[in-house]
Each structure stands twice: as structure tokens, then as C-alpha cells.
């Protein structure tokens, strides 16, 4: 059951005491028993009149005059004293049309939506559709555009400059600066280890770029470092893989 606050109990007891005072001061006259019993019930006068009229119409089928003026006067005096209508229930308990209801029982409480997507079927369908689109695009593109293949390689004549594909030019550029062990194993290995450790260092679950400053900074540094090496190897390396200026000596790069 809901617990009634203390201030509501005090207000009910004060109203009950105020309602009992006019009953004690009322004079004992003829018909006072009926009026006392009716006023003690604390029922409004218009409800008493309505019930009596309905009862008499059911018995005799005719309209009956309103209830006695004494009853209405006593009930009106009792209700005027009490600020809130008080009704007496079984065993003399007073019932009021006021109660306290907890907010959780009347409010529609909804859980916050979880930012998660099931792998199957949602994610797999999207990835499969993307794979089909890329495959179809590559097939159609290869039909209309020929691959930039050169003549057969000659083992007796090495092209100068001899450059690796563009995605390996970063490693080839490192080979001009460091020992092959350092350029081909140590530096790429350290970079891969750092990128592998990023999810364990930056555990921020947010998907917003402004909240992932560490991850964005590391990715930007890695991409800029590798992009600069690829651009130098592609456009600024000439015969003998020497440093040249493309606007002065031309481009020594083929796709």
C-alpha cells in the first residue's frame, strides 16, 4: 500500500475535528435522530435529495418534494466548516479524495537505445553488397580500360630508375635512408605494433571524431608520414633513384 504523508494525516484529523463540533452543538429537537444520523454520514445535501427522490419515484412513481430544510442546513454547516469534503467509511474511517502516487507507476519509463547492430544479418548484408559492387565495378572497368602493362622484362637490361609499385615506394624510400634491416623490418614493425596497441590505450567508446583525439592524431601522423614517403619516391626520384625536381627534370614515374 502507498504510505500517506504526515501532513495529509494532520490535515484530515483537523478537518474531522472541525466537522464534529457542529454536531455536538446542534439542539435536540423532533426528528433530530434522523438529522443526526444523516449529518453524521457527511453526505452532501444534493446527493441525499437525489437518492430520496429516486427511492420515492421507484415506490410510488411520483415526484417527491426536496428533503427537509433542517437536514440541508446541518449538512451545509458541516461541509462549510471542513475545507475538504470528508466521507466516513466502514468502522468510522474517513476517506478523502487525495492520495500520493509514486511517479514510477504513472510515467512511461523507456530504456535508452543501445548503439549496437547485430552482425547477422545487418552487417554481413551490407558488407556482402559492398563486395559485389566493387567486383562488378572492377569487371566493367577492366573491359573498357586496358591495364598499363609494359613489354616483357629483360634480365640483361634493368630499367633506370627501377621503382616499386606506388604502394611500396614508401619502403623503397626508407631503404635510401636506413639499413635494410631497419627500413624493412624495424620501422614497419614498430608502426604495426603501435597501431595494434591503440584500441587498448584509447578505450573511449564514442564514435564522434572530436571525442577520439588520440586515435585521430595517431592515424593522421601515420597517413601523413607514409603519404610523404610515397610522393617523394614517385615524383622526386630520378635515374639511379637520385633526388630530382619534377618541374626541372621531368617525371620518372609510371602507373
Residue 6 has pLDDT above 70, yes or no: yes
Average pLDDT of the segment spanning 6-11: 83
- pLDDT at residue 17 tops 60: yes
- pLDDT averaged over every residue in the chain: 76
Q: Distance between CA 137 and CA 140 in Å, rounded?
A: 5
- In sequence order, the β-bridge partners of residue 87 are 95
Angle, CA of 58, 64 and 68, to the nearest 5°: 125
CB contact set of 100 (below 8 Å; sequence gap of 6+)? 2, 3, 4, 5, 8
| From the candidate CATH numbers 3.30.70, 1.10.3470, 1.10.287, 3.30.300, the one assigned to the domain spanning 151-249 | 1.10.287
C-alpha 74/C-alpha 67 separation (Å) is 12
Instruction: Taking residues 138-155, report their average pLDDT.
Output: 86
Provide the pLDDT for residue 91: 61
What stretch(es) of the chain map to CATH 1.10.287?
151-249
2-11, 27-36, 124-133, 169-178: which range is least confident on average? 27-36
Q: Pick the range with the lowest mean pLDDT from 33-47, 145-159, 179-193, 207-221.
A: 33-47
Confidence of residue 137 (pLDDT cuts 50, 70, 90): very high
Range from 28-37, 136-145, 211-220 carrying the lowest mean pLDDT: 28-37
C-alpha torsion sign, points 87, 88, 94, 99: negative
Query: 514510477: which residue's cell?
Result: 104
pLDDT greater at residue 88 or residue 148: 148
**pLDDT at position 104:** 55
- Maximum distance among all alpha carbons in the chain? 140
pLDDT band at 76 (very low <50, low <70, confident <90, very high): very low
Q: Of 85, 81, 83, which Cα lies nearest the Cα of 43?
A: 85
Grid cell in block for residue 156: 640483361
Could you tell me if 101 and 107 are in contact, meaning their C-beta atoms sit under 8 angstroms apart?
A: no
- Cell numbers linked to 35: 438529522
How far apart CA 126 and CA 223 sit, in angstroms, is 27
Among candidates 230, 231, 197, 232, which has minimal Cα distance to 215? 197
Examine the pLDDT at 131 and tell me if it is beyond 90.
Answer: yes
Q: Each residue of 93-120: pLDDT tens digit?
A: 666 555 555 555 555 556 666 667 678 8
* Residue 94 φ then ψ, to 5°: -90, 135
Lowest mean pLDDT among 110-119, 220-229, 233-242, 244-253: 110-119
pLDDT grade for 21, boundaries at 50, 70 and 90: confident
Provide the whole-model pTM. 0.43
What CA–CA distance (Å, rounded) separates 144 from 142?
6
Please state, in angstroms and rounded to a whole number, the distance separating the CA atoms of residues 182 and 188. 9
Amino acid at each position: 500500500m502507498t504510505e500517506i504523508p504526515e501532513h495529509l494525516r494532520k490535515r484530515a484529523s483537523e478537518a474531522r475535528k472541525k466537522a464534529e463540533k457542529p454536531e455536538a452543538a446542534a439542539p435536540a429537537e423532533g426528528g433530530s435522530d434522523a438529522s443526526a444520523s444523516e449529518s453524521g454520514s457527511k453526505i452532501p445535501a444534493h446527493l441525499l435529495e437525489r437518492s430520496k427522490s429516486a427511492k420515492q419515484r421507484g415506490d410510488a412513481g411520483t415526484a417527491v418534494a426536496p428533503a427537509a430544510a433542517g437536514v440541508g442546513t446541518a449538512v451545509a454547516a458541516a461541509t462549510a466548516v471542513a475545507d475538504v469534503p470528508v466521507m466516513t467509511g466502514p468502522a468510522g474511517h474517513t476517506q478523502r479524495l487525495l492520495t500520493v502516487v509514486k511517479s514510477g507507476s504513472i510515467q512511461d519509463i523507456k530504456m535508452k537505445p543501445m548503439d549496437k547492430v547485430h552482425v547477422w544479418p545487418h552487417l554481413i548484408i551490407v558488407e556482402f553488397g559492398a563486395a559485389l559492387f566493387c567486383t562488378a565495378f572492377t569487371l566493367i572497368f577492366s573491359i573498357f580500360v586496358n591495364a598499363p602493362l609494359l613489354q616483357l622484362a629483360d634480365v640483361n637490361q634493368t630499367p633506370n630508375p627501377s621503382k616499386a609499385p606506388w604502394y611500396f615506394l614508401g619502403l623503397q624510400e626508407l631503404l635510401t635512408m636506413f639499413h635494410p634491416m631497419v627500413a624493412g623490418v624495424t620501422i614497419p614493425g614498430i608502426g604495426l605494433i603501435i597501431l595494434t596497441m591503440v584500441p587498448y590505450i584509447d578505450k573511449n567508446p564514442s564514435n564522434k571524431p572530436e571525442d577520439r583525439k588520440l586515435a585521430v592524431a595517431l592515424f593522421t601522423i601515420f597517413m601523413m608520414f607514409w603519404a610523404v614517403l610515397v610522393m617523394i619516391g614517385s615524383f622526386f626520384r630520378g635515374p639511379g633513384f637520385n633526388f630530382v625536381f619534377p618541374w626541372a627534370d621531368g617525371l620518372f614515374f609510371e602507373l
